[in-house]
Structure 1
Amino acid sequence: MAHLTFDSDEQQELREAARAEFPANPALAYVLESLAAEGIDLDKCRDWEELRLEQGLPVRTEEAPNVA
């Protein structure tokens, strides 16, 4: 598929936004900063429903669309 990367200006903007938006959650800011620096390998991305099922969460239905 592809590897999404950011140029140096975009990286800096993403880092600043992560720090500004998540000052109370340094772990989340760190993850977002890492994504800015390393990019995202789209070949390794997984579907949200696949992750839900792997964790034993119920399948979403129209009766319960917002479960977990």
Structure 2
Amino acid sequence: MGNAIHDNDSQMLYLKKRLNMFLEVLESVDPESTNLDDIDRMIEMVDDLEVKVHQFKKSE
């Protein structure tokens, strides 16, 4: 997804953008028509966010 992010401000901005993207996806989901693949993709998004948080913590 581009260049490495090293400074804290950029890291926080990145995480906020990714979290907002996830929230938009979550808000757009129709519970009546959501299938297992959709849920798996949302879980992947959360897992990716968690990985980034841990990476950023290690770089502090």
TM tier relative to shorter chain: 0.3 to 0.5
> Which TM-score applies when normalising by structure 2?
0.40
Task: Look at both structures and tell me which one has the larger radius of gyration over its CA atoms.
Answer: 1
Bigger RCO (CA 8 Å, 6+ sep): 2
Structure with higher helix content: 2
